[in-house]
């Protein structure tokens, strides 16, 4: 599997090594292994790696079919995955809805302030005034004991059955664009109809993320399944890269999150 590295970014090599190590454990011990929560790009990498093995398979779950962040269960082909294998806990947030509001950013910031790594909890889901989030079940007691406020808002955290999770589907609208390259500034400029100069300034001002990480280099090379977020403009996904046009532009499908 050494040739796998040539298909991915250098900064993704440690994650590839991690998945290869887990896969070798599954092969040697012939027993399933579970990962932390993965973003869509990481899941793409996992699927690519597992596709190179004949007797190993992978399944994903993040609590509902619509969650973006999911855990991967890598398992030998004799095994049949069950929901319990993904070790998920669903938390429902009780708060005074008549007097205050919550936001994804506030909840995420509070969880991170508890010293919790981002990859041990999944999606933060919202429907109307209701808020829920998924986490690694091994952190259940710690979270219940530590989380009683979000910002300045007093809350009560409840563990709910997974079948009572909010079913919120993300809707992406697709559009084909052309760009001179796969550079981050080029893709955003063409997708949002902005000047390259303005996009460069936004990137350098730390207003742009790729796969939830701030990217400050305008020449960062994007890949399929990358999630791009631009503050003030929302999120986009590089869904598929096609061939080149007669004018040597790259055709690609971009999804915009509604």
Cα–Cα distance, 232 to 176 (Å, whole number): 22
Task: State the pLDDT at residue 7.
Answer: 80
Cα–Cα distance, 68 to 42 (Å, whole number): 11
Task: State the pLDDT at residue 80.
Answer: 96
Whether 160 and 180 share a structural domain: no
Residue 105 belongs to a domain: yes
Give every strand in the sheet of 70-76, ordered side by side.
33-38, 70-76, 56-61
Residue 126, domain CATH: 3.30.70.330
Whether 180 and 238 share a structural domain: yes
Whether 31 and 76 share a structural domain: yes
Residue 104 belongs to a domain: yes
Whether 210 and 228 share a structural domain: yes
Asked if residue 71 lies in contact with residue 87, where contact means CB atoms within 8 angstroms, the answer is yes
Whether 21 and 73 share a structural domain: yes
- 134 or 1: which leads in pLDDT: 134
Whether 187 and 244 share a structural domain: yes
Report residue 6's pLDDT band, with 50, 70 and 90 as the boundaries: confident
Task: State the pLDDT at residue 161.
Answer: 96
- pLDDT tens digits, one per residue of 42-100: 999 999 999 989 999 999 999 999 999 999 999 999 999 999 999 999 999 999 998 89
Residue 1 belongs to a domain: no
Report residue 179's pLDDT band, with 50, 70 and 90 as the boundaries: very high
Cα–Cα distance, 150 to 131 (Å, whole number): 12
Handedness of CA 32, 36, 38, 42 (dihedral sign): negative
Task: State the pLDDT at residue 170.
Answer: 83
Report residue 258's pLDDT band, with 50, 70 and 90 as the boundaries: confident
Average pLDDT on 14-24 reads 95
Asked if residue 71 lies in contact with residue 60, where contact means CB atoms within 8 angstroms, the answer is yes
Average pLDDT on 111-135 reads 94
Whether 78 and 99 share a structural domain: no
Report residue 122's pLDDT band, with 50, 70 and 90 as the boundaries: very high
Reply yes or no on whether the pLDDT at 147 is more than 90: yes
Residue 222, domain CATH: 3.10.290.10
Whether 235 and 203 share a structural domain: yes
Helix 184-192 crosses helix 196-204 at what angle (to 10 degrees)?
Answer: 120
Residue 3 belongs to a domain: no
Task: State the pLDDT at residue 46.
Answer: 96
User: Which residue, of 116, 141, 164, is where some domain finishes?
Assistant: 164
User: Which residue, of 34, 55, 83, is where some domain finishes?
Assistant: 83
Per the listing, tokens 């010293």 go with 115
- pLDDT tens digits, one per residue of 20-36: 999 999 999 999 999 99
Cα–Cα distance, 190 to 205 (Å, whole number): 19
Task: State the pLDDT at residue 49.
Answer: 94
Report residue 2's pLDDT band, with 50, 70 and 90 as the boundaries: low
Task: State the pLDDT at residue 25.
Answer: 96
- 238 or 1: which leads in pLDDT: 238
Tell me the percentage of the chain whose pLDDT exceeds 90.
84
- pLDDT tens digits, one per residue of 207-242: 999 988 899 999 999 999 899 999 999 999 999 999
Q: Locate all alpha helices (DSSP H) within the chain, ordered by sequence.
A: 13-29, 40-50, 104-113, 140-146, 184-192, 196-204
Q: pLDDT averaged over the chain?
A: 93
Residue 160 belongs to a domain: yes
Residue 220 belongs to a domain: yes
- Stated length of the chain: 258
Whether 112 and 145 share a structural domain: yes
User: Which residue, of 31, 62, 83, is where some domain finishes?
Assistant: 83
Whether 183 and 196 share a structural domain: yes
Residue 227 belongs to a domain: yes
Residue 41 belongs to a domain: yes
Residue 40, domain CATH: 3.30.1370.160
Q: Domain range holding 71?
A: 9-83
Dihedrals φ, ψ of 188, to 5°?
-65, -45
Task: State the pLDDT at residue 1.
Answer: 59
Number of domains in the chain: 3
């Amino acid at each position: 599997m050494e040739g796998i590295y040539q298909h991915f970014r250098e900064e993704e090599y440690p994650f590839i090594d991690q998945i290869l190590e887990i896969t070798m454990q599954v092969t040697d011990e012939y027993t399933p292994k579970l990962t932390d929560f993965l973003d869509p790009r990481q899941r793409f990498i996992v699927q690519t790696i597992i596709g190179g093995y004949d007797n190993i398979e992978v399944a994903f779950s993040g609590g509902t079919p619509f969650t973006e962040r999911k855990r991967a269960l890598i398992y030998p082909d004799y095994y049949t995955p069950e929901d319990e294998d993904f070790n998920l806990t669903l938390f429902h947030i009780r708060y005074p809805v008549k007097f205050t509001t919550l936001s994804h950013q506030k909840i995420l910031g509070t969880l991170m302030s508890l010293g919790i790594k981002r990859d041990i909890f999944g999606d933060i889901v919202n429907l109307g005034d209701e808020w829920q989030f998924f986490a690694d079940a091994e952190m259940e007691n710690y979270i219940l004991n530590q989380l009683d406020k979000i910002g300045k808002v007093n809350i009560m955290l409840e563990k709910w059955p997974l079948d009572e999770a909010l079913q919120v589907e993300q809707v992406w609208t697709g559009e084909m664009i052309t760009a001179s390259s796969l550079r981050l500034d080029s893709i955003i400029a063409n997708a949002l109809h902005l000047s390259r100069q303005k996009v460069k300034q936004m990137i350098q001002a730390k207003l742009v993320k790729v796969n939830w990480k701030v990217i400050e280099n305008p020449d960062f090379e994007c890949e399929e399944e990358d999630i791009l977020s631009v503050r003030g403009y929302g999120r986009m996904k590089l869904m598929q890269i096609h061939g080149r046009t007669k004018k040597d532009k790259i055709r690609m499908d971009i999804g915009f999150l509604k």
